[in-house]
Amino acid sequence: MGLILNIDTATQNASICLAANGECIATMVNREQKDHAGWVQAAIAQLMREAGYTMQQLEAVAVTEGPGSYTGLRVGLATAKGLCYALHIPLITESTLKVIAYATRGAMGLSSGQSPLVPTLLCPMIDARRMEVFTAVYSMDLEVVIPGGARVLDNNSFNKELENNRLIFCGNAIGKWKPLCNHSNATFYEGEEYSAADLGKLAEQRFERKMWADLAYAEPAYLKEFYSHIKN
């Protein structure tokens, strides 16, 4: 059980959350993607001050490692690593796709129990420009069924998985996939995606198991060479 600062700057909305034992104490959100770098450190100072905690009380810092925006991932990980190094506390990293899957499962009121006739899988998607997405497939227990990667969508995408499973598609890229998919086993979750508060729940699990990232060598999980919403 720990007091963990959670940082997410992976996608269009950045957020931070101070959590104790996985429960959110305070959170802040920034919806201006181009401003994540300038926002995050000042926001952390404000969050800690208003929550009544000092940085020295933190027991770990968690961050979404990607996939996501190339620049956003670098901002988040650099901030987290800098804090961990200065405070001599562990770094925790978690897949952005897994956090989205976890948040969707909770928002839809789902659990690990599922019908043996139609197993349910979670398929988070992050926009990777044009018809490409970063995606993975998870079981309801958040076990990896299909590892994360970049995929170009077409009418036949996920046909094999949809054959015998109900797939819940979620994340900021489902808008480009929904018009192509009319399979009866496809469900689209279009509610709030996720926040650093959801990261806080998963980070607590890693904290309890002492599953630290390597502070010196941890790198963003880009899944491909470059991704950004910023247009030249």
Residue 41 sits in a domain whose CATH number is: 3.30.420.40
**Residue 91 resides in a domain:** yes
Contact 7, 16 (CB under 8 A): yes
Identify the pLDDT of residue 34. 83
Asked if residue 40 belongs to a domain, the reply is yes
Give the span between the Cα atoms of 213 and 232, in whole angstroms: 34
**pLDDT number for residue 212:** 98
> To the nearest whole number, what is the mean pLDDT of the chain?
93
In a domain, 231, yes or no: no
Confidence of residue 225 (pLDDT cuts 50, 70, 90): low
Tell me which residue range forms the domain holding 160: 98-188
Comparing CA positions, the residue from 122, 151, 120, 119 lying closest to residue 135 is 151
Query: Does any domain span residue 218?
Result: no
Q: pTM to 2 decimals?
A: 0.93
What is the helix, strand, coil percentage profile of the chain, to 5?
35, 30, 40
> Do residues 160 and 201 both lie within one domain?
no
- Point out the least confidently predicted range of 107-121, 181-195, 214-228: 107-121
SS3 16: strand
Same domain? For 87 and 118 the reply is no
**pLDDT higher than threshold 50 for residue 57:** yes
